[in-house]
């Protein structure tokens, strides 16, 4: 950290504040003492100009369309790595040696089963419950079962609960799907890879042997990598805020899942495919582009635009390529992909989208792939939650390990009534 200073003029008086430098990216003005020195708060709803924490996990350069995990570009990780390797990297800071990767994968595979009583939770839901509703409930309930890993001040407890969450999330998500279609739950098969095991638990049935299709396994693993972490997004900030009070990790991740569900965040993949299906054929695209531009119409192009990226989301590039690979491997096609390609092209050539720097994001193409693999749209966000769990637990661990960590407690600009006296009901 450099000892640069920034002078701010507040109410006609000059105050000096330290400027902190990260390893890359914009400097930050440290205003922690602003209120104490000036009696004033900053106002930044949506945190458009506020860094809420220090983090060494993920770096995004939105203008250039760069995403790095622990310094490694997402494109390289997606092409050359595996989700297990990325999980290790996120949790430990460095890429593993082969033995470390084998040990880590083995450890994760030893935590894939759920406590048998958790299966009865599913039966309490309606069959048509959204998988995200089930995920919020079941993940939150894990804290009632794994008391031996909820002492957050103990690094070993934190490690075990992190492993448990990463390992159990595929089982929980697959069970949510199985419940919705009335098929028996499939127990994990630890001889398979993390992703192969998830595919079997989702699409396999006890009556038949399930063959994992290597190309689908690879594509799915890559989709998990693309969703592993994304800096201080809404759900990650939710996990951090929940965790800042000392809440246990299972409760914190359940809070993250709840936040991710929204259509402006993880729910956008479901909304994007629904939108593409509603558009149907390329000749209807101009109508939807006009609607997206109309200030009086709440419609937005789902899978387009991003708070941080003002350039092509690098994850969308990989996603688009993966669509083609999956179609080829499964020998399928989907007219919705053609609609998506043409919608992208028309939007990128439209001055509205150019001026506002709106580009496809990770969710624009992910639904097309997931649908080709066989997932119903309601499962899309659950898959996002599964993959993002590693980011959430890594961020949560980083926060708890930080000796300077304090409870998150934003302030406000109060606009309600000033103090007044209570009037009894018969005198109002």
Point out which residues bind ligand CMC (CB under 6 A).
230, 233, 264-266, 268, 292, 300-307, 356, 358, 361-363
The catalytic residue among 111, 306, 313, 334 is: 306
Indicate the residue among 139 and 362 with the shorter CB distance to ligand CMC. 362
Provide the minimum distance between the beta carbon of 251 and ligand CMC in the complex, in angstroms, as a whole number: 21
User: Which residue number has the CB closest to ligand CMC?
Assistant: 305
Residue among 32 and 295 whose Cβ is closer to ligand CMC: 295
From 363, 402, 421, 426, active-site residue: 363
Min separation Cβ 306 and ligand CMC, Å: 5
Among 90, 110, 343, smallest CA distance to 224 is for 90
Across-strand partners of 6?
17
Nearer of residues 26 and 184 to ligand CMC, judged by Cβ: 26
| Of 337 and 364, CB closest to ligand CMC | 364
CA nearest neighbour of 319 among 386, 370, 275, 270: 370
| Spatial separation of the C-alpha atoms in residues 260 and 391, rounded to whole Å | 13
Q: Which is nearer to ligand CMC, 217 or 229 (CB)?
A: 229
**What gap in Å lies between CA 387 and CA 85, rounded to an integer?**
13
CA atoms lying within 13 Å on the CB side of residue 420: 6
Rg for the chain (alpha carbons), in Å? Answer: 23
Q: Round to whole Å and give the CA distance between 426 and 240.
A: 47
Least separation, in Å, of the C-beta of 53 and ligand CMC? 18
Residue 356 beta carbon to ligand CMC: minimum distance, rounded to whole angstroms:
4
Please list the helix, strand and coil fractions of the chain in percent, rounded to the nearest 5, in that order: 55, 5, 40
Q: Is 187 exposed, middle or buried (0-12, 13-18, 19+ CB in 10 A)?
A: middle
Backbone angles phi, psi at 16, to 5 degrees: -100, 135
Annotation marks residue 230 as catalytic: no
CA 12 to centroid of chain Cα atoms: 43
Q: How far is the CB of 237 from ligand CMC (least distance, A)?
A: 12
Residue in the structure block whose two tokens are 């922690």: 32
> Phi/psi of residue 64, each to 5°?
-95, -10
**Which of 305, 314 has the CB closer to ligand CMC?**
305
Query: What is the nearest approach in angstroms of ligand CMC to the Cβ of residue 303?
Result: 5
Active site residue 363: yes
The residues that are catalytic are: 306, 363
């Amino acid at each position: 950290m450099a000892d640069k200073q920034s002078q701010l003029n507040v109410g006609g008086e000059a105050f000096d504040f330290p400027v902190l430098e990260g390893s890359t990216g914009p400097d930050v003005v440290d205003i922690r003492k602003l209120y104490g020195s000036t009696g004033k708060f900053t106002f930044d709803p949506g945190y458009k100009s506020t860094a809420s924490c220090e983090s060494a996990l993920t770096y995004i350069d939105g203008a250039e369309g760069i995403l790095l995990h622990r310094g490694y570009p997402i494109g390289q990780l997606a092409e050359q790595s595996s989700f297990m390797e990325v999980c290790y990297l996120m949790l430990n800071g460095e890429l593993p040696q082969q033995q470390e990767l084998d040990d880590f994968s083995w450890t994760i595979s030893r935590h894939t089963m759920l406590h048998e009583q958790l299966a009865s939770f599913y039966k309490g839901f309606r069959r048509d419950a959204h998988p995200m509703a089930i995920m919020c409930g079941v993940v939150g309930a894990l804290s009632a079962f794994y008391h031996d890993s909820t002492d957050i001040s103990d690094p070993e407890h934190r490690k075990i609960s992190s492993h448990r969450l990463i390992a159990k999330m595929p089982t929980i998500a697959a069970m949510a799907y199985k419940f919705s279609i009335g098929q028996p739950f499939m127990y994990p098969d630890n001889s398979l890879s993390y992703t192969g095991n998830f595919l079997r638990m989702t699409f396999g049935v006890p009556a038949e042997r399930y063959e994992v299709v290597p190309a689908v396994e690879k594509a799915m693993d890559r989709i998990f990598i693309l969703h592993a972490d994304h800096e201080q997004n809404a759900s990650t900030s939710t996990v951090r805020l929940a965790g800042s009070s000392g809440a246990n990790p299972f409760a914190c991740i359940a809070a993250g899942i709840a936040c991710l569900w929204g259509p402006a965040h993880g729910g956008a993949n479901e909304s994007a495919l629904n939108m593409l299906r509603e558009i149907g054929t390329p000749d209807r695209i101009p109508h939807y582009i006009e609607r997206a531009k109309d200030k009086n119409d709440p419609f937005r192009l789902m899978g387009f635009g991003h708070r941080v990226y003002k350039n092509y989301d690098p994850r969308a590039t990989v996603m688009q390529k993966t669509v083609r690979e999956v179609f080829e491997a499964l020998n399928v096609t989907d007219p919705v992909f053609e609609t998506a390609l043409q919608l992208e092209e028309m939007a990128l050539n439209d001055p509205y989208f150019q001026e506002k720097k709106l580009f496809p994001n990770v969710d624009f193409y992910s639904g097309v792939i997931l649908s080709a693999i066989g997932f119903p749209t309601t499962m899309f966000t659950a898959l996002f939650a599964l993959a993002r769990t590693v980011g959430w637990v890594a961020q949560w661990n980083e926060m708890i390990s930080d000796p300077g960590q304090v409870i998150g407690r934003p302030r406000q600009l109060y606009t309600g009534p000033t103090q007044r006296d209570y009037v009894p009901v018969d005198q109002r």
